[in-house]
Each structure stands twice: as structure tokens, then as C-alpha cells.
Amino acid sequence: MRKIIVLEHMTSGEWQPSVFLSGDIAEKITQIKQQQGPDLHVWGSGDLIRRLSSMIWSMCSG
């Protein structure tokens, strides 16, 4: 399973197979979602998931 990792200060790591994202994260996630493959799953702390959900809701609701 490919891992998509969003970090500010890290561009590579030992987790394989993995893709590190930086820059315009919303645009990159949009591109990934348009590709064929399984659904995206968010793993992380409760705080991270709340922040992502809030950010995604803001982007989707305009």
C-alpha cells in the first residue's frame, strides 16, 4: 500500500512505498484523488484528523 506523507521539513524517508508531499497540498491531493486506485485514508492523531476535516470542509463548501 502506497503511503502519502505530508510533512513540512521532510522530503524523503525509509517508509516504502511512500510519496512525500509539500507545497500546494490541496492541489496535490486533488491530483492523487483523480488517479485510479483505492480510497484515501487519513491516519494520525485526533487533533490532526480534526484539523484536516475542518480544512477539507472549508475547501469543499467554498
Convert the pLDDT of each residue in 7-44 to its tens digit: 766 666 676 788 888 888 888 888 888 888 888 777 76
Residue 32's domain spans which residues? 3-61
Report pTM: 0.53
**What's residue 58's pLDDT?**
77
The angle subtended at Cα 30 by Cα 33 and Cα 36, nearest 5°, is 20
**Ramachandran region, residue 33 (left: φ > 0; alpha: ψ -120 to 50; beta: rest):** alpha
